[in-house]
Structures are given as C-alpha cells and as structure tokens.
Structure 1
Amino acid sequence: EFVRTGEFPDKRRYRGITALFITEFLLRRSNSTSMDKLILDETVMAVVASLDRHLAFIRVLVGVAPFLGLLGTVTGMITTFDIISFFGTGNARAMAGGISEALITTQTGLLVAIPGLYMCNFLTGRAENLKQQISSLGIYLKRYV
C-alpha cells in the first residue's frame, strides 16, 4: 500500500525492519520502473547487511570472554606461585588471594561466554529470519513498482 501511494509509514504505528525498509525505498525512489527495481534490490541488500553489522561484535565478545578468564587464571596462578616462592607453602592466607583471583576471573569469563553464546545464536537466527522476510518483501514489491 505504501509503495503504491508513495506515503511513508507512520513512525508511531509502524515500527521495525519492514517499516525501515519501505521508508528507505520510498526515500530513494525515482519513479522509473527499471530504476526503481534496481533501487529496491539495493535497498534489500543494504537492510540485510545492517542486520549483520553488530552480530560480528557480539561473536567476538563471546569468543574472547573465556580467554580473558583464562588470562586471569594464569595471572592468579603466577601470583600464587610468587607467594609460594617467597613465603613457602606455610602461608595459606597469602596464597588464597592468588587462587581467588584465578577462580573469579575464570568464573567471570564463563558467566559472560555461556549466556553470550546463547544470545549470539538466538540473535543470529532472528537476523536470518528477518533477512528472509526482507528478501521476500523485496520480491513481492517488485510487482508493484
């Protein structure tokens, strides 16, 4: 309906990727059928690409979190061994700080990575679904351009 009339979707009523897609197309529309079909294809590609833009950052965070935890584990163990080399094994209280550092950083890395992995997979699936919807809408709208 919006493509035929050339009206922009009302931002208060129509939200989401579909409204963004139609608005982007209407802003770039040329009223030449052959050019509008090319603009429609280009708009589909631009909107689909925007869905993947931030997913890469989330994937990196999820991948790096366990390694940061491991780094903390290594530094905690180094601290513990430094204490052992200086005081010997008789000072459990001094060693506890390094062991605690090792365990807390490992736990934090896992607490970030495990839910992050779930959310990354969820968002990737949602993005794929939205990409399919936008591609289908682009094919459908070509009939009315």
Structure 2
Amino acid sequence: MIEILETIRDFTETGGQVLLVIGALIFVMWLMILERAMYVFVTHKQYKKNVIAKWNARAERSSWNAEQVRQAMISRVSLKLGAGIPIIQSLVALCPLLGLMGTVTGMIEVFDVMAISGSGNARSMASGVSKATIPTMAGMVGALSGVFASSWLSRTTKSERAKLEDALMMERHI
C-alpha cells in the first residue's frame, strides 16, 4: 500500500500542481457519474413503477386535463433522470482545458530552465517537459472516459423517457 501511495506521489510531482486539480476534477466527475448510474439502476425503476401506478389509479385518462397530468408526470421523471448531466458534461469539457493549462505551465518551466542555464540542456529541461505532457494526457483520459459515461447517461435518459411515455400511453387507451 505504501508503494502505491509513493508511486502516486511521484506521478503527481512529475506532472505538477495542475495534475492534482485534474485528479480532483476527475474524481468529482466520476462520483457524479456513479451517483447517476446508481439512480438509473436502483431508484429510477421504483420511481417509474410509482408513476405508472399513480397514472393507472386515475379514474379519467382521456381528457385534455388528463393529458396535461400525464405530460407533467413524464416531465418530472425526465428531470429526475437528467439531474446532474449538464454538470457532468461541463466537467468533461473542463478536463482537456486543465490539461492544456498544465501544458502551458510545464512549457513555462522549460523556458525558465533554458533561460537560467543558457542552453538547451536536455537533462535540465526533462522535468518541465514531463510537467507539460503528463497533465495533457491526464486531462484527455479524464475527458474521454467522461464523454463515454455522459453520452450513455444522456441516451439512457432519452430511452427511459420514451419507455415511460409508451407505458403511460398504453395505459391511457385501456
């Protein structure tokens, strides 16, 4: 366990301070993604059953007023399903931007070393180059993983809304 923590510490030192910010951002983003996935797989199913049961309990399901109630129910379910997805998408967009910031700060360090040493000594520039490339890589990995997860969440939200509309529509014509 200590070796793993030392490896992580060495990696973050090699990548610079921006890497810590990227790591925290990715951690928060994945916490939100996991919360949404848990909602979809656990809580949503029961909520959907309750909404369908509430619709079936209505005596009258064919008037304009009943249609408005149906639309309101569907909208509430959609809002609950889609909660947090725009924030997740914003965090996904922030990952490569922070990686770019890490690239810029790493290159500034390279230029500082070049200015101080007066030459292009490769050994003295190596830490700056790693501080330039590692945050970029971390930002892109975080963004790619977040893109896949957020697109899955968006598709699932649309699919679940359509399934609920179908379920309530079928119940409406009985």
Question: CA RMSD for the aligned pairs?
Answer: 2.7
Q: 2:166 aligned with 1:136, yes or no? A: yes
Q: 2:114 aligned with 1:84, yes or no? A: yes
Q: Is the 8 A contact 2:96 2:143 kept in 1?
A: yes
- Which has the higher relative contact order, 1 or 2, with Cα contacts under 8 A spaced 6 or more apart? 2
- Residue 54 of structure 1 is matched in structure 2 by 84
The structure richer in helix per residue is 2
Q: Is the 8 A contact 2:52 2:167 kept in 1?
A: no
* Cα deviation 1:76-115 (Å, max 9, x = unaligned): 0011111111122254333211111111001101111122
Q: 2:50 aligned with 1:23, yes or no? A: yes
Q: Is the 8 A contact 1:70 1:106 kept in 2?
A: yes
Task: Percent identity, please.
Answer: 27
Letter in 2 for 1:39: V
Larger radius of gyration: 1
* C-alpha distance in structure 1 between counterparts of 2:152 and 2:55, whole Å: 32
Q: How many residues align?
A: 130
Q: TM-score, normalised by structure 1?
A: 0.73
Uncovered stretches (5+) of structure 2, i.e. residues with no partner: 1-41
* Cα deviation 1:111-141 (Å, max 9, x = unaligned): 1112222222222222211111011112223
* C-alpha distance in structure 2 between counterparts of 1:135 and 1:18, whole Å: 14
- Residue 43 of structure 1 is matched in structure 2 by 73
- Residue 73 of structure 1 is matched in structure 2 by 103
4+ residue runs over 6 A deviation:
27-30
How many angstroms does 1:72 deviate by? 0.3
SS of the counterpart of 1:89?
coil
